[in-house]
Amino acid sequence: MRYVKSQMKQLVRENERLQQKLQALMTEHDLEKTFALKALYHADVADGGKYQEDYQALDDLR
């Protein structure tokens, strides 16, 4: 599974908890949104993360 920025943005847009985590990452680590999205992907989506199925479902819609 690979990181797709547009797919990750959509996943965050649809999930309030991920929105909060993204904002926390940006604030806590002083990251730009692009880098925070990628960090969130690796933390909560990639390699069997909590939101992997939701992310893959978005890929199936494309």
The pLDDT value given to residue 49: 93
Token pair in block for residue 53? 């199925």
Q: How confident is the model at residue 54 (pLDDT cuts 50, 70, 90)?
A: very high
The pLDDT value given to residue 62: 65
The pLDDT value given to residue 60: 76
The domain tally of the chain equals 1
Query: What would the DSSP string read from start to end of 5-61?
Result: HHHHHHHHHT-HHHHHHHHHHHHHHT--HHHHHHHHHHHHTTTT-TTHHHHHHHHHH
* C-alpha distance from residue 1 to each of 21, 29, 41 (Å): 22, 26, 11
pLDDT in tens, 9-48: 999 999 999 999 999 999 999 999 999 999 999 999 998 9
What does pTM read for this prediction? 0.90
Give the Cα separation of 42 and 2 in Å (integer): 10
Judge contact between 7 and 35, C-beta under 8 A. Answer: no
**Domain around 17:** 5-60
Judged against a pLDDT cut of 80, whether residue 58 lies above it is answered with yes
